[in-house]
Amino acid sequence: MEKDMFEAVDVRSGAPGSVDCELIVVPVFKGEATETQFFAELNAATAGETQRAISQGEFRSGTNDCFIAPLIGDAWTARRVALVAVDPKNLMKCRPAAARIIVAARSHRVREVGFLVRGDVELNSFAQAITEGMLFGSFDDRRYKTGEGRDGPNSEEMSLHVLSGENDEAMVKDGVRRGVAIGTSANLARELSNEPPNLLTPRAFAERARAIVRDQGVEVEVLDEGHMEALGMGLILGVAQGSVEPPRLVVMKHSPAGLAGGPVLGLVGKGVTFDTGGISIKPSESMDQMKHDMGGGAAVVGAMRAIAALELPIRTIGIVPMVENMPGGKAIRPGDVLTSGCGKTVEVLNTDAEGRLILGDALWHARQLGVTHLVDVATLTGACVVALGKVASGLFGQPSEWVHTLQQAADNAGEQVWHLPLYEEYSDQLKSEIADLVNIGGRAGGACTAAAFLRAFTGGLPWAHVDVAGTAWIEESKPEAVKGATGVMVRTLTELASMSETWAADN
Ligand code: BES
Ligand code: MN
Ligand code: ZN
């Protein structure tokens, strides 16, 4: 088992002046009075800069402001202080601020950052949010650079500092533990999604997934094309047949000791390692981005790691179908009919609607393995990006109680999802002349008809579908994140598993 994961962020306690790092981060809460002894001491150590910045409005606690000043004299060990504005009513919002600090620290060659966990807030969630944010900001992938581009100060030392009693320290440690499990897992998911498609083939993806979760005690089974053929998974095999790279289906099981009965959460993630569109080929512009068409699968791998690392008391099965969607002499054609593992037949009218095909077989397989509640995460449709932009993921599913549970998990985790409709009529757009279903429903309501297609494979189980086509990838670097994969949904899925007591009984 991996031992050092929880060492990514340190927890220490003591007086603020004794925090021994280059940059100390001090949260200032919205509406907080700064005429206190704490701020008086900080003001003195910054030679009056703190009060000046606050009274002149250079730093405003009600916004996302950040203000950095040098610390002078011997009262504080740290060399600089950063004030960051935090809304005590929405602690998750401090995550981007914590990320920005780490990104800024890196560009200024500051290697040790300590965050002071103070204030009259729930220290557990505050510490978790800070930890997740710092880890998010520390992500800087240089694996494929050489020479000067490769080095760079990419190993910040990050710590959280507690001021008072031991009770607080225990709370902060618990939050940091959750934050580290989730933050490092989200970064592993980002790393996988950024991986170039010539290197992250379905076989390589399967081995990486195995290595990532096995360290946390997750049981892994990798089905190859022979296995899938025996099980009749014609949809996964159909999509894969145009590629020289064989498909894989990864099954990851988290089985907490002593939990025999009860619900089984099934997490399914789209794992298309590259989506050319197949014979219905995509335009070449930005086609390179289709290397992240396995972002949903990466999120499931990341969530399985976090769920197991936190030893969450809920049986969970993660399933990721992995394929490459290529044109070629052996590729499926528009017009082909494929038969799924559950027996349903699909007339493929567009080979670029491949995600729903592989997910159809994967959802069916999850049911075969005995899951009671389903969630899938997929970079499924451009239509979802048109509907919601890059601001929120699309959420679909049934029954509404289960969809609301997922919405609650996302809200708690600070990830934006928006519930979109799944009326019965959408399924009418998927009727085929010659088979049970077609795989595209026309231009109207493209994200909804894709979800309706998936519904046909859920066997009536509680099921939620999250379309992350717009949220799994950012095209331009931002102050809090580098360009590339976001690791979206690792947090929400982990939160969903940790909320299991709230949904296990009533769904
Ligand atoms: N992987 C794409 C969806 C996608 C688009 C993901 C943009 C991320 C960013 C998916 O396989 C796809 O090609 N969908 C088609 C469906 C259509 C053929 C019905 C689409 O959205 O155009
Ligand atoms: Mn496609
Ligand atoms: Zn795709």
pLDDT in tens, 447-458: 999 999 999 999
Using alpha carbons, select from 411, 391, 395 the residue that is nearest to residue 403: 395
Q: How many CA atoms lie within 13 A of 128 on its CB side?
A: 21
- Please check whether residue 84 is in contact with residue 97, taking contact to mean a CB–CB distance below 8 angstroms: yes
CA of 324 to the centre of ligand 3 (A): 9
What is the reported pLDDT for 1? Answer: 43
Average pLDDT over residues 361-385: 98
- Look at 479 and 287; give whichever has higher pLDDT: 287
pLDDT class of 431 with cuts at 50, 70, 90: very high
The pLDDT of residue 165 is above 60:
yes
User: Using a 6 Å cutoff on CB, does residue 353 contact ligand 1?
Assistant: yes
For residue 387 and ligand 1, the question of a CB distance below 6 A is answered with no
Residue tagged active-site, from 177, 210, 253, 356: 356
The pLDDT mean for the chain works out to 95
Catalytic residue check, 282: yes
Active site residue 356: yes
Rounded-to-integer distance, Cα 298 and Cα 209, Å: 8
Q: What is the pLDDT of residues 400-427, one digit of tens each?
A: 999 999 999 999 999 999 999 999 999 9
Q: Please give the single-letter amino acid code of residue 237.
A: L
H helix count then E strand count, the chain? 16, 20
- Report d(CA 491, CA 135) in Å as an integer: 13
Is residue 153 over pLDDT 80?
A: no
The residue whose CA is least distant from atom 7 of ligand 1 is 382
User: What is the pLDDT, as a whole number, of residue 154?
Assistant: 55
For residue 157, what are the β-bridge partners? 112
> Does ligand 1 come within 6 angstroms of the Cβ of 384?
no
- On the question of a cis peptide bond just before residue 479, with omega within 30 degrees of 0, the verdict is no
CB-based neighbours (< 5 A) of ligand 2, an ion: 275, 352, 354
pLDDT for residue 155 = 61
Residues 30, 52, 79, 282: which is the catalytic one?
A: 282
> Do 242 and 272 meet the contact criterion of CB atoms below 8 Å apart?
no
The pick from 274, 381, 466 for probing ligand 1's pocket by mutation, whose C-beta has the most ligand atoms within 8 angstroms, reads 381
Q: Are strands 264-269 and 373-378 parallel, antiparallel or unpaired?
A: parallel
pLDDT grade, residue 483 (50/70/90)?
A: very high
Q: And the tokens for 12?
A: 């220490």
CA distance 466 to 498: 18
- Identify the CA nearest to 253 among candidates 206, 296, 218: 218
**What is the torsional sign of CA 429, 375, 141, 23?**
positive
Q: 466: CA distance to ligand 3 center in Å?
A: 14
Q: Give the C-alpha separation, 67 to 255, whole Å.
A: 47
pLDDT in tens, 331-343: 999 999 999 999 9
Q: Which of 273, 286, 352 best tests ligand 1's pocket when mutated (most atoms within 8 Å of CB)?
A: 352
Sheet arrangement for strand 66-70:
9-13, 157-162, 112-117, 23-29, 80-86, 66-70
Task: Decide if pLDDT at 3 tops 60.
Answer: no
Secondary structure string (H, E, C) spanning 120-172: CCCHHHHHHHHHHHHHHHHCCCCCCCCHHHCCCCCCCEEEEEECCCHHHHHHH
The predicted pLDDT at position 294 comes to: 98
